[in-house]
A and B are shown apart, each in its own frame.
Chain A
Amino acid sequence: MDRNVKESLKEIVGAENFSDSLIDLIAYAKDASEYRHRPDAAVWPVTTDQVSALLKLANQEKFTIVPRGAGTSLAGLAVPERGGLIMDMGRMDKILEINIEDRLVVVQPGVVYADLDKKLSPHGFSFPPDPASGSVCTLGGNVATNAGGIKGAKYGTTKDYVLALEVVLADGSFMRTGSRCMKTSSGYDMTRLFVGSEGTLGVITEITLKINPKPPLLSTAMAMFDDLEDAGRAISQIMHSGILPCALEIVDQQTLKAINQNTPLNLPEVEAILLAETDGYTREETEYQIDKVVEIFQRNRASMIRRADNRQEAETLWTARKTAYGVMARINNNLFVEDLAVPMSKVPEMLRAISDLAKKYNLVIPTVGHAGDGNLHPVISFDGTKPEEVHRVEQASAELFEKVIRLGGTLTGEHGIGLAKARFMGMEHDAKSMEYMRGIKRLFDPNNILNPGKMALEAG
């Protein structure tokens, strides 16, 4: 990036919102994935007009722009693979409107998920997806990745809540999509097109989200299964029983072993633990639901079932699930947190396949997941300084996704494609789909300045 361009960038955002210091270039070279590439410079725009001027300049000067939220992507969405400019949206962090009457909020993209949650909580409302990185991730990032979380089975993911967007397009022009109405059948759904677009079509500068009333009461139950097939059957029976738990999580045997090796928790190393939570407005309501869930646990030969009488006990039941990431992060230097989803009935088969792959490639792959929506997170921990080990990890990943697709699954439930899964896109999407996706990309971004290299939008 030449000096004149950098000077122009400074003029647009002000010197205090521009940097090409080494420390910033290094910090922006990485997100939470294993990919790494330094940008040439970084900016922190504070107004939509600045975003527009930046894009206009980039389009003229043909440098690339990677919009970035909190950089918690596990798939390399925010890594500037080809250098260029990082556009950190973190300083556009205002909640512009909380409108309980119309059941919506309007926010800037840099608002942190947890900060919105804190503001909505006193009203008894929430934006439900609840991603695991909620304490830090931004709403712009949530929209750009179509983020999900543990409540997906009952409350859906980000896409189910985005009503309208303001987007700055590659040439610096503005587009407003959607409406403030709960319903609309008006025209193509341009809003949905941007949800999950990973910064490849435009830069989101304002988000209108539908918000949900948040049931204040929860009931929690946990069950252990000596046989994975029993757990799988229980999941499937719960999900067609008419009861919709707000969380139904699974923790596999490898995870339990990893937890026991790294903590004093001393959990039984059964083949699977299921954890269910039901929500509602009265105790009767939540207990009625959890009773049904427990019945199904019993019917499917759960070796141990525990119910929480209060929140403190519930926290204890959640320990295994909530400890998992920390434990996995400590096993080795590097980790791939995978993010596949399969039809719910295929969860046990998928878990078996993961376990077989781990044996075949001599890897440790503990798996946790949102069983209620078939979204599993096998976590491959490895030592990135050993090329041979890295190679085995890559082979195992490729085979993993072949299996996922064979089972009718998807490459990603909630983390996005980014760099990590770009090479598998053709496995899931047929040639026509890829052709049209690439066509859409060219239509919006003819000079390919917006987050290039992601989602396999160039090949073919």
Chain B
Amino acid sequence: METTYEFAEKFRDQVLRCSSCGFCRAVCPVFGITKRPAFNARGKMLVLKEVMAGNIPLNDELIETLFQCTTCAACANNCPSGVNVPEIIKSVRKDMVHLGTCHPAFVGMNQVLETSPNIYGEPGPPDFERERNRKAQYVFFVGCVGSYREEEATEETLALLDRQQVDFTLIDEACCSGVLEDLGYTIQKNHVQTNLDRILATGCRTVLTGCPYCFRTFNEKPEYADLKKQRIDVVHISQFLSDIDFGVQTDKKVTYHDPCDLGRHAGIYEEPRKTIQKIASNFVELPSNRANALCCGAGGGVRGAYAANSIAMARRRLAEVEAVGADVLLTECNSCVHNLSNAKLRAQKFKIYTTAQFINHLLEEA
């Protein structure tokens, strides 16, 4: 008997098109650390084929594979059959949540965001000692990780913007809440409204985001379409910085980690490199980079739900940094910085920063 699920209605052809070649084994970060075929994209598609055929129900037994995916899209990027695995995974998670089957960590995050304006359930955003919600040309939208976990990186990014005399303001932001769509839930309309109201109230022309995920949410989710209607550009900080000449240099060996949300999902590979190469003549690529970059292991809810595996994925990425002998690892995502920093071993002497943070350091030292 065939059972109808929303994911099947949307993605039936794609799931069936997976030819089980197994090439996703080469790039799946979860498979890379577990060596368990049930976790890579082929395993997930085989499970979904059985679900679509009505052979097995979409129940708790499947949580461990269907919720253990960082949605990094490395598989989709390498799939000969063109199967867009992350989109399928997000869709099937919605069916599962609808049926009342979900990873407890994801249930928790949704509950937190029902009442709290951030994913950590912490009281209001820090003000970074700045007047908020003022009229300005730019809004700098920090994002949850940058506000509550990687505050130092954020402070230095803001300091850098000050140095460049950028007319920007912070707002009393709420979580963009796009992440809920990845975890099987739906975006929080009240948070969307809060953000839209406060952004529009500043009269800004551009929203700068510190977080590639917020960047994607604002640009891609229909709930935020008002920004486009009001002709407000949403730009990631890495794009903004790439046009600036900072006039500082480091002789340290610098490398760069492509965040999945900025790279594979948004196609932004060159701007960060343009900036870094201006400040670091000794720049070296990681063995896997750009569209082939290894995921840091934090995405898709995996850091919250499968912490040990998330850290193991980060360690694999850090081993690449060690292999190229870099002194500094730069990236453009606070969530990547957070996970990679947590995973870094004491013996690994290199430093991890966002690009903006590092540039501000250099300017301070200059």
Residue of A nearest to B15 (CB): A333
What is the bound-complex CA distance between A71 and B22, given in angstroms? 7
Residue of B nearest to A325 (CB): B80
What is the bound-complex CA distance between A139 and B328, given in angstroms? 36
Residue of A nearest to B65 (CB): A23
Residue of A nearest to B81 (CB): A329
Contact of A70 among B16, B17, B25 (CB under 8 A): B25
Contacts of B25 in A (CB 8 A): 70, 136
A291-332 near B? 1/0 per residue, CB < 8 Å: 000000000000000000000000000000000011001100
Shortest CB distance A107–B (Å): 16
What is the bound-complex CA distance between A28 and B62, given in angstroms? 15
Residue of A nearest to B37 (CB): A27
Asked whether A32 and B19 contact (CB < 8 A) given A26-B38, A27-B37, A27-B38, the answer is yes
What is the bound-complex CA distance between A37 and B259, given in angstroms? 38
Residues of A within 8 A of B (CB): 19, 21-24, 26-33, 44, 70-72, 88, 90-91, 93, 110, 112, 114, 133, 135-136, 325-326, 329-330, 333-335, 385
Stretch binding the partner chain, chosen from B42-50, B218-226, B234-242, B339-347: B42-50
Whether, in the assembled complex, B82 has its beta carbon less than 8 Å from a beta carbon of chain A, the answer is yes
Contact of A23 among B21, B35, B43 (CB under 8 A): B43
What is the bound-complex CA distance between A88 and B17, given in angstroms? 25
Contact B36 A29 (CB under 8 A): no
Contact A135 B42 (CB under 8 A): no
Main secondary structure of the interface of B (DSSP, over half): helix
Q: Can you add 13 more A-B contacts, CB < 8 Å, to A71-B37, A90-B37?
A: A21-B61, A22-B61, A23-B62, A23-B64, A24-B37, A31-B22, A133-B21, A135-B23, A136-B25, A326-B80, A329-B17, A330-B81, A335-B19
What is the bound-complex CA distance between A21 and B43, given in angstroms? 13
Contact of B80 among A19, A30, A72, A329 (CB under 8 A): A329
Shortest CB distance A313–B (Å): 22
Shortest CB distance A111–B (Å): 12
Contacts of B324 in A (CB 8 A): none
Shortest CB distance B322–A (Å): 16
Contact B47 A27 (CB under 8 A): yes
Count, A-B residue pairs, CB within 8 A:
89
Contacts of A29 in B (CB 8 A): 46
Contacts of A71 in B (CB 8 A): 22, 37
Whether, in the assembled complex, B26 has its beta carbon less than 8 Å from a beta carbon of chain A, the answer is yes
Contacts of B289 in A (CB 8 A): none
Contact A21 B19 (CB under 8 A): no
Contact of B22 among A26, A93, A136, A335 (CB under 8 A): A136
Whether, in the assembled complex, B20 has its beta carbon less than 8 Å from a beta carbon of chain A, the answer is yes
18 of the cross-chain contacts (CB-CB < 8 Å) are: A21-B64, A22-B56, A23-B38, A26-B38, A26-B56, A27-B43, A70-B25, A90-B35, A91-B35, A133-B23, A135-B23, A136-B25, A136-B26, A326-B82, A329-B17, A329-B21, A333-B16, A334-B19
What is the bound-complex CA distance between A44 and B38, given in angstroms? 13
What are the 5 tightest A-B residue pairs by CB atom distance, in nearest-first order?
A27-B43, A326-B80, A27-B38, A135-B26, A23-B38
Shortest CB distance B110–A (Å): 24
What is the bound-complex CA distance between A29 and B20, given in angstroms? 11
Contacts of B46 in A (CB 8 A): 26-27, 29-30
Shortest CB distance A328–B (Å): 8
Residue of B nearest to A323 (CB): B80
What is the bound-complex CA distance between A333 and B82, given in angstroms? 12
Contact A24 B36 (CB under 8 A): yes
Contacts of A26 in B (CB 8 A): 38, 43, 46-47, 50, 56
Contact B19 A24 (CB under 8 A): no
Contact B17 A44 (CB under 8 A): no
Residue of A nearest to B48 (CB): A26
Contact B16 A30 (CB under 8 A): no
What is the bound-complex CA distance between A136 and B20, given in angstroms? 12
Contact A136 B23 (CB under 8 A): yes
Contact A329 B19 (CB under 8 A): yes
Contacts of A44 in B (CB 8 A): 35-36
Contacts of B81 in A (CB 8 A): 326, 329-330
Contacts of B82 in A (CB 8 A): 326, 330
What is the bound-complex CA distance between A335 and B17, given in angstroms? 10
Contact B42 A27 (CB under 8 A): yes
What is the bound-complex CA distance between A330 and B84, given in angstroms? 13
B27-53 near A? 1/0 per residue, CB < 8 Å: 000000001111000110011001000
What is the bound-complex CA distance between A72 and B17, given in angstroms? 16
Contact of B38 among A21, A93, A114, A325 (CB under 8 A): A21
Contact A23 B17 (CB under 8 A): no
Contacts of B62 in A (CB 8 A): 22-23
Shortest CB distance A115–B (Å): 10
Contact B21 A72 (CB under 8 A): yes
Residue of A nearest to B19 (CB): A329
Asked whether A70 and B43 contact (CB < 8 A) given A27-B38, A88-B37, A329-B17, the answer is no
Asked whether A114 and B37 contact (CB < 8 A) given A22-B56, A31-B20, the answer is no
What is the bound-complex CA distance between A71 and B23, given in angstroms? 10
The CB with the most chain B CB atoms within 10 A, among A23, A72, A329, is that of A23
Contacts of B36 in A (CB 8 A): 19, 24, 27, 44
What is the bound-complex CA distance between A314 and B50, given in angstroms? 42
What is the bound-complex CA distance between A329 and B22, given in angstroms? 13
Contacts of B56 in A (CB 8 A): 22, 26
Contact B22 A72 (CB under 8 A): yes
Contacts of B37 in A (CB 8 A): 24, 27-28, 71, 88, 90
The CB with the most chain A CB atoms within 10 A, among B20, B47, B81, is that of B20
What is the bound-complex CA distance between A334 and B46, given in angstroms? 13
What is the bound-complex CA distance between A71 and B17, given in angstroms? 18
What is the bound-complex CA distance between A429 and B253, given in angstroms? 62
Residue of A nearest to B66 (CB): A23
Contacts of B26 in A (CB 8 A): 112, 114, 135-136
Asked whether A330 and B22 contact (CB < 8 A) given A27-B38, A27-B47, A29-B46, the answer is no
What is the bound-complex CA distance between A159 and B276, given in angstroms? 49
Contacts of A114 in B (CB 8 A): 26
Contact A23 B61 (CB under 8 A): yes
Contacts of A72 in B (CB 8 A): 21-22
What is the bound-complex CA distance between A90 and B81, given in angstroms? 24
Contacts of B16 in A (CB 8 A): 333, 385
Contacts of A329 in B (CB 8 A): 17, 19, 21, 80-81
Residue of B nearest to A22 (CB): B61
Contacts of B42 in A (CB 8 A): 27
